[in-house]
Amino acid sequence: MLAWFIFWIAAIVAIGGQIPLIVAAWRLYRHPAPAPANVPRSDGRADLGWTLVTALATLALFGAAYLALP
Amino acid sequence: MAARKRVQILLLGLILTLATIISGGLVTISASAAACSSWPLCLEALSDSANPLVWISLGHRAIVALALLAVIGGVWAVWRSPETAGLPRWMALAAAIIFLSQALAGALLVWGVPAMVADVWHLTGALLAFGAQVLTFILIAIPAPATVERLSGRAAQTQRRLRGLAVWTAAAAGVAALAIGARSVAPELEMAVALPANSVGALSFAAFLSLWMAVEARRRLPVEAQTSALALALPRYSPLLPGLAALALIGWFIPAGGHLLSLTAAALLWAGAIAAAVAIQRAPLTFATATTTPATRPVSKWRMVVADYISLTKPKVISLLLVTTLTTMFITEAGLPSWWLVLWTMIGGYLAAGGAGAINCAFDSDIDVNMGRTSRRPVPSGRISARAAFVFGAILSVLSIVVLWVFTTPLAAFFAFLGIIYYAYFYTSLLKRSTWQNIIIGGGAGAIPPLVGWTAVTGSVSLMAVVLFAIIFYWTPPHFWALALVKQKDYARAGVPMLPVVAGEVETRWQILVYSAIMVAVSLLPVAIGAMSWIYLVGALVFGLRFMRDAWAVWRIGDQAAIWGLYKYSLLYLALLFVVMVADRLILR
């Protein structure tokens, strides 16, 4: 019971936490902030892609943890 | 009582307690404890059947009795002197109580109570009493300075570092001494009362730490500090400590009498390291408060070259990586690893991380030269060429793969190889220079060490190992973005697209908060999947809540104090989290 409770709390925070990260990556993709002249501009699509990959990997981790719940 | 007399009594107690430990070791390896079936007297000695075993046992008891008298005499001497008020008195009292309790454990042995437990506690108690006596002696021999003067930054740092090394040396030496004792009680056991029976690894750590302390003391303390007083004897005599560790190791390989040599040397190393820790705490004020320029020891060229090459491996950064590797090795489902395996994994891990760090230094010299924090590194300052740094890093990397492959498992070697490629090429050459995701995705490189530790022990990857990876992965952004917030001008000058540079402070502070929350959530997964229990849960919650408090302060306040607070605590947090995992495993296994 405790394991399930902890799992769902952790899952809500960790997976729910991906939303603001994706939103931030999307915002920086659509409206990149001006950077100093000698700093290379990030590829917004690649940044968004990395963010989505991280979110999916986190989802997969929690999926595996769900299967391993006692 | 004259101070001289008091010191003599304490010294006598010390010598007799050491003799107790040595004679106890002799009793153990000769299995003569049962030769005297009565306690505390050994009436068998009066009978016709008395044999050498009886005399060994009787001799040990006589030494214990004398030592007990001396320890009690020490308490009396310390308590009746008005000038020794405070900690020395309580230490002396503790020594007597512990000594008495370990003597009673000896009685349990004679009466047939589980021998292994009683024998290990017997030695543990004797070592603790010995430690308490050393503390009493050293606190009286080196009185606290009348006025506490504020240390300069560098002096305080030196003092902290030396004291830390001394404390860890004492811990390693204590474990080694106990392990030697446990091994002699039950050689076939892998564990004796949660104590690794293989003492060679612990001794090697003690030797390494004490050698490091000796080198640091000679290198960092100015000449006059090393010759000014008894209190400053440490730098001069600290080479004795690694010498004792070496002696203990040598004794391990000597068949006859080697055990006693090892035990004696380890016990002396334990005492010496405790004494050093106190001496460092009380002593080095003279070098710290000198207003004149201290006379510095001339540094030879080859030493500078060696120091530069060592600095290429980024020892400070590596230390935290090795903590995560080391602690992971003790929490797998495969049980406790042998100390040999731990030692080789640590060596392989250091070589891998050091090799990757050196290659990073070679590739990043154009960035490092523009940053205050890194501009004094050997490559940007021109002391070592980028090519030499690369070759050095490549050699270390290859060595690491060989060491891990031969002495641990192929999978551990594979993960070390992956970590090197990830950090030295993927992160350094691609991510760092091209995207603000550099720290997030690059964090995967720093998260690999637990996988190395895990696979070195088990030879396979399990869900828990991946969870450990994820914890460090999500720990990395808050940690490094805190540093980036402070050093963002440096990063901008060097042309590195860190998040604060390309997206501003507010965005960075917000993302620090989000990543911190995810990290704390992921840190609870080990409990959910049944890999950890309540001890870890309490630790993860307490440490995690403190982390969130600091991350919240960065988000809401965002001043330098809040940011530095988070940066410093994040270092401690990761170490504490992994240590509490080990505690959970060892206590509730």
Q: What is the nearest CA distance from A19 to chain B, expressed in angstroms?
A: 10
Q: What is the pLDDT of residues B354-410, one digit of tens each?
A: 999 999 999 988 888 888 778 888 888 888 898 999 999 999 999 999 999 999 999
Contact A48, A25 (CB under 8 A): yes
Are B468 and B407 part of one and the same domain? no
Are B587 and B467 part of one and the same domain? yes
3-state SS, B469-498, equals: HHHHHHHHHHHHHHHHHHCHHHHHHHCCCC
The encoded tokens of residue B281 equal 């705490």
Are B525 and B495 part of one and the same domain? yes
Within 10 Å of residue B228's Cβ, how many Cβ atoms?
Answer: 16
More confident site: B366 or B221: B366
Which residues pair with residue B191 across a beta bridge? B196
Instruction: Mark yes or no for CB contact A65/B529 under 8 Å.
Output: yes
CA distance B361 to B432: 13
**Half-sphere exposure of residue B541: CA atoms within 13 angstroms, side-chain side:** 9
Domain containing B216 equals 154-287
CB of A1 less than 8 A from some CB of B:
no
pLDDT at B400: 95
Residue B423 falls within a domain, yes or no?
A: yes
Are B434 and B308 part of one and the same domain? yes
Q: What is the pLDDT of residues B526-566, one digit of tens each?
A: 999 999 999 999 999 999 999 999 999 999 998 989 999 99
CA distance B13 to B41: 22
CB of A52 less than 8 A from some CB of B:
no
Residue B223 has pLDDT above 80, yes or no: no
Find the CATH number of the domain harbouring B551: 1.20.120
If one counts the domains in chain B, the total is: 3
pLDDT at B193: 42
Interfacial residues of B (vs A; Cβ cutoff 8 Å): 433-437, 440-441, 463, 466-467, 470, 492-493, 495-497, 501-504, 507, 510-511, 514-515, 517-518, 520-522, 524-525, 527-530, 537
Residue B290 has pLDDT above 60, yes or no: no
Contacts of B522 in chain A (CB under 8 A): 10, 14, 58, 61
3-state SS, B207-245, equals: HHHHHHHHHHHHHHCCHHHHHCCHHHHHHHHCCHHHHHH
Three-class secondary structure of residue B39 per DSSP: coil
Instruction: Mark yes or no for CB contact A17/B521 under 8 Å.
Output: yes
Last residue of one domain, picked from the residues B252, B287, B322? B287
CA distance B472 to B331: 16
Q: What is the pLDDT of residues A16-70, one digit of tens each?
A: 999 999 999 999 999 887 778 888 888 888 999 999 999 999 999 999 999 999 8
pLDDT at B199: 63
- CA dihedral sign of residues B558, B562, B564, B565: negative
A34 preceded by a cis bond (ω within 30 of 0): no
- CA dihedral sign of residues B314, B315, B318, B320: negative
Buried/exposed code over B348-381 (b: 16+ C-beta within 10 A; e: otherwise)? bbbbbbbbbbbbbbbbbbebbbbbeebeebbbbe
Q: Which of B440, B492, B530 comes nearest A50 by C-beta? A: B440
At B246, the pLDDT band (50, 70, 90 cuts) reads confident
State the best of B426, B437, B469, B512 to mutate against chain A, taking most chain A CBs within 10 Å: B437
Q: Which residues contact B187 (CB under 8 A, 6 or more apart)?
A: B197
DSSP state of B164: H
Last residue of one domain, picked from the residues B241, B256, B287? B287
Is residue B329 packed enough to be buried (19+ CB in 10 Å), middle (13-18) or exposed (0-12)?
buried
Residue B294 falls within a domain, yes or no?
A: no
Averaged over B86-109, what is the pLDDT?
Answer: 83
More confident site: B128 or B188: B128
pLDDT at A37: 80
Q: What is the nearest CA distance from B467 to chain A, expressed in angstroms?
A: 8
Share of chain B above pLDDT 90, in %: 32
Residue B88 falls within a domain, yes or no?
A: no
Residue B128 falls within a domain, yes or no?
A: no
pLDDT at B299: 60
Q: What is the pLDDT of residues B558-587, one digit of tens each?
A: 898 999 999 999 999 999 999 899 888 877
Q: Which span out of B168-182, B255-269, B417-431 was modeled with the highest average pLDDT?
A: B417-431
At B228, the pLDDT band (50, 70, 90 cuts) reads very low
Share of chain B above pLDDT 70, in %: 82
Are B468 and B419 part of one and the same domain? no
More confident site: B196 or B550: B550
Q: Which of B466, B492, B517 comes nearest A36 by C-beta? A: B492
Instruction: Mark yes or no for CB contact B497/A54 under 8 Å.
Output: no
More confident site: B526 or B59: B526
Residue B377 falls within a domain, yes or no?
A: yes
Contact B35, B53 (CB under 8 A): yes
* ipTM topping 0.90: yes
Averaged over B346-353, what is the pLDDT?
Answer: 94
Instruction: Mark yes or no for CB contact B528/A36 under 8 Å.
Output: no
Are B534 and B429 part of one and the same domain? no
pLDDT at B276: 78
Last residue of one domain, picked from the residues B446, B471, B495? B446
pLDDT at B478: 96
CA distance B525 to B538: 13
At B197, the pLDDT band (50, 70, 90 cuts) reads very low
- What is the phi-psi region of residue B310: left when phi exceeds 0, alpha when psi lies from -120 to 50, beta otherwise? alpha
